[in-house]
Each structure stands twice: as C-alpha cells, then as structure tokens.
C-alpha cells in the first residue's frame, strides 16, 4: 500500500513539475525527494537516548509514513506503567494503520487519542484499551535503553 501511495505522490509531483517545465523531461532524472522501493520497504530510524543510539525499522503503513513526515523530532518521553516510554507528538498523524490491543517488547506504536508515540520496553501481560494501538515500527536492538525509571529525552531521525 505504501509503495502505491508513494508512486502516486511521486507521479503527481513529477507531472506538476513537468507542467511548468521546471524539470527535465528525461525519464531517468530523479526527484530529490524520491524514495526507492527498497527504502520504502525498510525505512530505518535512529533514536538517540543520552549517549546511546538505538536503531529501529519502520513498517509499511500510512501511519508510519506520516510519522516520518515529522522527523527529525526531539521528544521528552515519560514512563507509563513501568513498561513503556511515551511522548505527545506535535500533531496527530494518520490513523489508517491496522489497530491491535496487544504489543511486543520493542514495538514503536502510535496511540491516536494522545496523539502519542510510545516504545514498549517490558511486557506486563495487559491488553491495551480501545481504540487500540497502531504499530509503526520495531526496535532492532537495544530496547533496554528505555528501561529507566525517569523521563528521557530522545531525538528521532530518519537514516538516509
């Protein structure tokens, strides 16, 4: 789905640029913001937590794509229930991703009522209340960086 959306957006952008003759007509020229199919399927982010850098892989859904549009992002993440760090986003993002009421350690999720982003570092066996979570990514390794009792400041950046 993400690939189709990206293809449509790039096609419309390319058509608009060609209409005003501001781009060459060569089919091989690349737009500066063009994202390859491989990149769209494996978007990676860095999350800086103090002196540690944790990488994560975003999944292919509209919510994750909209989250990318906010990056780079600096957040203060607070602790919730000794299982997750969460922070309010500067604006609501797409709620079109699949919702779930369960989670796994390392999940990066969007909680639309917030609108919040959260990272689960421990599982307590509890289900999530309605409307549920939208998983937007997964920590690759180093989730223990979030398992601290206090709030943490993080910077989230897209890996180019």
**In sequence order, what are the residues at sequence separation of 6 or more whose Cβ sits closer than 8 angstroms to the Cβ of residue 82?**
122, 124
CATH 2.40.100.20 location in the chain: 42-158
> pLDDT digits over 58-81, tens only?
999 999 999 999 999 999 999 999
Tokens of 7: 């293809």
Instruction: Tell me how far apart the terminal alpha carbons of the chain are, to the nearest angstrom.
Output: 22
Q: What is the CATH number of domain 42-158?
A: 2.40.100.20
HEC letters along 42-73: CCEEEEEECCEEEEEEECCCHHHHHHHCCCCE
* pLDDT band, very low/low/confident/very high, at 157 (cuts 50, 70, 90): very high
Question: What is the spatial distance between Cα 62 and Cα 132, in angstroms, rounded to a whole number?
Answer: 16
């Amino acid at each position: 789905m993400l690939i189709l959306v990206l293809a449509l957006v790039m096609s419309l952008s390319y058509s608009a640029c060609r209409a005003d003759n501001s781009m060459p007509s060569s089919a091989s020229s690349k737009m500066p913001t063009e994202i390859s199919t491989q990149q769209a399927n494996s978007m990676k982010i860095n999350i800086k937590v103090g002196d540690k850098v944790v990488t994560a892989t975003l999944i292919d859904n509209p919510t994750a794509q909209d989250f990318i549009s906010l990056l780079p992002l600096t957040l203060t993440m607070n602790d919730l229930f000794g299982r997750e760090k969460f922070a309010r986003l500067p604006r609501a993002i797409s709620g079109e991703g699949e919702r779930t009421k369960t989670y796994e350690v390392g999940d990066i999720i969007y909680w639309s009522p917030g609108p919040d982003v959260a990272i689960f570092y421990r599982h307590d066996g509890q289900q999530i209340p309605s409307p549920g979570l939208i998983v937007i990514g997964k920590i690759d390794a180093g989730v223990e960086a979030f398992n601290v009792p206090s709030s943490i400041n993080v910077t989230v950046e897209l890996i180019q």
